[in-house]
Structure 1
Amino acid sequence: MTTLSSVQRLALSTALFLLTGCSTADSIATVSPSSETETASISTIVGGGPSGFSEYPFAVSLRTSSNSHFCGGTLLNPRTVLTAAHCIAPNGPDAPEVLRPRNIQVAVGAYLRTSSRFQNVQVTQIRLHPDFVGNTGAPFFNYDSDVALLELAEPQVRAEIVSLISSLSQITPGTPATAIGWGTRQEGGAFLPILLQEVDVPIVSFLSCRESYGDASFPFRAQSITTNMVCAGFPIGGRDSCQGDSGGPLLVDADGKLEQVGIVSFGEGCARPDRPGVYTNVFNYLDWIRNNQF
């Protein structure tokens, strides 16, 4: 039976593989669960700053049984958390290192990452999207269908829930969007922020994103970018999600109401020029999410 520590080592070794294959922080946006100060290669907020105290009450922190943050997520309903599949199974659902429900707790209302005031809720069931493949050593990076649902042991009836994208017009290229999370604030950073961070980035067109990764080395290639993804970032870089932000939301303002349009998934490094962040396109998974939520 796989222990949590071995799963954590796998997450770190997977990240290091990507690093050696590409750069110093090629991203799958998770953080090594073995230590709150150790990052493993994927997304934290770069170029942003602390969010308002109650600005994103639906944001949650995924924790190990030792209370170490390793991914983000959003509260979809009182009993369901929406996150990235690679946070649970970085090497695919059939790999032996998949995290089990007993190994995951969810911190609800955790604006301050280290605060003891929020409630840690045990996960009782996990549903990965059936089309998620993960990092299986394929010719290119395959994080298509990077979406998962977690069931909470206790319903969070007083917590606010997230609203999901209601129209494709909300991910039109150039649309302002906001990524949030407790990830590192620079590529290769060694420390996670105490406060929930936010950064504003514009939506990038599918073709532009695909072209940006067209000249990238293995495992980041144009084939890695699919229509089930949405990209966001500036051509000059400088703002992005980074290690530890995986699973968290990409949000847009829809007539005064925040709606989640993406899930932090991957990217090459953090905030690099011509390397936008890549997010799961929530619109494409609305039916699956609604039919499989707890």
Structure 2
Amino acid sequence: MIFTWQNIMRTIFLVSIGSITVGDQLSTLFPNNWKVIESLAEEHPYIVALLNANQQYVCTGITINKRTVLTSGHCVDPPPHFIAVATAVIIGGEGAMRNLIEVAATVLHNEYTFDVKQTEPNITRVHSNIALVFAVRPVLMHFMTPAEIANHYATELRDTRMTVVGYGELYTGTIVLQRQAYNQTPCSNPKWYYCVCGLEDSVDILGTYEKEFGEGAPVLLDKKVVAIAATPSGSMIEPKGDVKYNIFTVIGPYLSWIDKSQTVTNLKLHALINSSDTHKEVLIKYILILLVITILINTDDNLCKINN
């Protein structure tokens, strides 16, 4: 080959273009890439953050109707105070967040069990690790569409590749949406009831998150939610190796419980709100009566002064 200036310049141009393309592809794998963070929010608008009384992030959840958020049972002990909606970034601290909706009630499954050894980070027993969070007002659908839930059981999720999407902290301290893919693997503990487990996908070798993230987050299969993350991604190591591992509570066995709990709780909240409104109406009427009486008394006093 004859190395002319034209050939040299053409080679440099092609190498440069190739480097840019590879660089762009690699950058999309990193969790602090804002294009990735924003795309996660656009693809999964039903994902919400649960915050404490100081408006600090506690857990992830998903909206399933206009008033209800589905999350891990471990996430409502203690109960959250706010639901942060329609955001890819959580800015902690009281008064810092917009799009906050107050929590009216939480419902934890009556068979909920989440036992952890005190001496080591080892979960010994999990049962019915699922809960519902109810907003004060039925306005969640004004901000997003609900998640699509698939009716699968653990046996139907064998040999699948699932993805967790939830909130987590970057090294900078900012809390953003992140994701991690998992390959289904047998759970190492037979006392993790109605659960499916996963090993982090080795394809994501560059990592798709920086710190632990996503407790209570949705576990997705073909864009449908099949489970809820029982523990944060990155917090557990596979017992027989050094691969990161996670436990997911499968939603299928709990669909009837979810429907029943929503019906009962919504009726209670409706009755409570109506009762509160009735009390307000009575109070307003009482104040108006007192106001009228005060005006009449003042009028009588003025008339007496004129007559005198």
* TM-score > 0.5 by shorter chain: yes
Q: How much has 1:109 moved relative to structure 2?
A: 1.1
Question: Using a 3 Å threshold, how does the CA distance of structure 1 residues 179 and 135 change in structure 2: closer, same or farther?
Answer: same
Q: How much has 1:246 moved relative to structure 2?
A: 0.9
Question: Using a 3 Å threshold, how does the CA distance of structure 1 residues 250 and 170 change in structure 2: closer, same or farther?
Answer: farther
Q: How much has 1:181 moved relative to structure 2?
A: 1.2
Q: How much has 1:209 moved relative to structure 2?
A: 2.2
Task: Please give the residue correspondences for 1:239-278 in structure 2 after superposition, counting only pairs within 5 Å.
Answer: 243-253=212-222, 258-266=223-231, 269-270=235-236, 273-278=242-247
1:163 aligns with 2:148: yes
| CA–CA separation in structure 1 for the residues paired with 2:244 and 2:213 | 18
The residue that corresponds to 1:76 in the other structure is: 64
Q: How much has 1:146 moved relative to structure 2?
A: 0.5
Question: Using a 3 Å threshold, how does the CA distance of structure 1 residues 194 and 283 change in structure 2: closer, same or farther?
Answer: same
Task: Please give the residue correspondences for 1:181-192 in structure 2 after superposition, counting only pairs within 5 Å.
Answer: 181-184=166-169, 192=173
TM-score by length of 1: 0.63
Greater relative contact order structure (CA < 8 Å, 6+ sep): 1
Does the 8 Å CA contact 1:240/1:271 hold for their aligned counterparts?
no
For each residue in 1:179-206, what CA deviation from the matched residue of structure 2 results, as whole angstroms up to 9, or x when unmatched? Answer: 0111246xxxx665443111222222xx
Q: How much has 1:143 moved relative to structure 2?
A: 2.5
Does the 8 Å CA contact 1:240/1:276 hold for their aligned counterparts?
no
| CA–CA separation in structure 2 for the residues paired with 1:80 and 1:152 | 6
Q: How much has 1:259 moved relative to structure 2?
A: 1.2
SS across alignment from 2:230 = strand
The residue that corresponds to 2:198 in the other structure is: 232
Q: Which residue identity is paired with 1:173?
A: R
| CA–CA separation in structure 2 for the residues paired with 1:243 and 1:233 | 15
Question: Using a 3 Å threshold, how does the CA distance of structure 1 residues 60 and 171 change in structure 2: closer, same or farther?
Answer: farther
| CA–CA separation in structure 1 for the residues paired with 2:253 and 2:97 | 36
Task: Please give the residue correspondences for 1:1-294 in structure 2 after superposition, counting only pairs within 5 Å.
Answer: 49=31, 50-51=36-37, 52=39, 53-89=41-77, 98-99=78-79, 104-114=81-91, 118-135=98-115, 141-155=124-138, 156-158=140-142, 159-168=144-153, 171-184=156-169, 192-204=173-185, 208-210=186-188, 222-226=189-193, 228-234=194-200, 243-253=212-222, 258-266=223-231, 269-270=235-236, 273-293=242-262, 294=266
SS across alignment from 2:50 = strand
SS across alignment from 1:182 = strand
The gaps in structure 1 that reach 5 residues or longer are 1-46, 90-97, 211-221
Identity among equivalent pairs (%): 21
Question: Using a 3 Å threshold, how does the CA distance of structure 1 residues 240 and 147 change in structure 2: closer, same or farther?
Answer: farther
The RMSD of aligned alpha carbons is 3.2
TM-score by length of 2: 0.60
Q: How much has 1:66 moved relative to structure 2?
A: 1.4
| CA–CA separation in structure 2 for the residues paired with 1:126 and 1:287 | 17
Question: Using a 3 Å threshold, how does the CA distance of structure 1 residues 193 and 264 change in structure 2: closer, same or farther?
Answer: farther
Q: More helix per residue: 1 or 2? A: 2
